[in-house]
Structure 1
Amino acid sequence: MVRNKSASLGLLSSLAASLCCFTPLVAALGGVSGVASTFSWIEPARPYLIGSSVLLLGLAWFQRLRPVKRDDCGCEVSKKQSILQSNGFLAVVTVLAVLLMTFPSYAHVFYAKKKPVEAVATTPTASLKEVEFAVKGMGCASCEPEVESAVGKLAGIQNVKASAVKKNTVVQFDPTKTTIEDIRNAINSTGYTVQNVKR
């Protein structure tokens, strides 16, 4: 019974550790990108949640693999086990927990590839502009591709680089093809919020 609780708590802890990372993807797929940054507050606790997941799953495996109890005559005391108490189920929970904990390292696979940068004329009338947007809600590296993809879909975008560490997005664009307000709206559509614009 303790083994099942340990495995369940380990899985829940793994889920919580990556909640801020895969919520934007789920929200975008569901069409409700406004909830994407709702769990960004969990990001600072991520290392502790991963640590607790590893400890709880380790405890579950220890309890599962420890020597079997024997009665006075030396016979194994065995009880009928449900599927939830099997090694296979614990292995599935462990694999799922590992996938959840490592999600930020492969999250970029689920986001649209950046479109090829369009050629921008370098005539005196068409000069590029670079603007930095302070963005609230990006908690880890898996947030960056979503913002970059949303902004990259706009016309006239030469370069876009989002940074969860710096909490910003730097965009180089042709002002004759798109506006700062269009870029702000594209970033806000991901569920993260533009707080400030540095021109």
Structure 2
Amino acid sequence: MTGPWLFDGPVPPPPRYDADDSLPAAVLFDRDGTLVTDVPYNGDPERVALMPSAREAVDAVRTAGIPAGVVSNQSGVARGLLTRPQVEAVRRRVEELLGPFAVWAVCPHGPGDGCGCRKPAPGLVLAACRRLGVPAGRTALIGDIGADMEAARAAGARGVLVPTPVTRPEEIATAGTTAPDLLDAVRLVLSRSPDGVSRTVGESR
């Protein structure tokens, strides 16, 4: 079985972390329900619509000099409902609206395929981090469902959940860190207290 599909963006800025730096080395976003509205098995660029504050959130990451990437399950490929050209067309449309991302990692497999990349497995996060040359332990993943948070934990990354109406209560309860919207999620992962320790609202302690 092949691994995830990887799409490269422009050369990312050099990592800006060091041993004492609490800023993330990279910020990864889920696609559907996080950056754009969730249209099941969408292969039509015309149906791509941004989630609230998506542009401001991604811009904030780039302004901080941190690479931004996307990690996305696309089981419609395995189900015969999507083709790779359709996935790429939607990717291009997202980048028309949000600007280019440093990397995309896409899982084309179905739930029963036994791959290691489909979230909640860590493969997409790890593949994106390898491509960016950053450690998973210094990476944040922002998503809207429990599978995103489980993938972050399994990879050793930090997860922040932005709930939507489809997010289950138990996913919110076990998320650890939640934010009311995407921009607030980015502010959480970029925030540092005066002593250099990252602080987040809603984080389990």
Q: Compute the TM-score of the two structures, normalised by the length of structure 2.
A: 0.24
Which structure has the larger Rg? 1
More helix by share: 1
Q: Using structure 1 for the length normalisation, give the TM-score.
A: 0.24
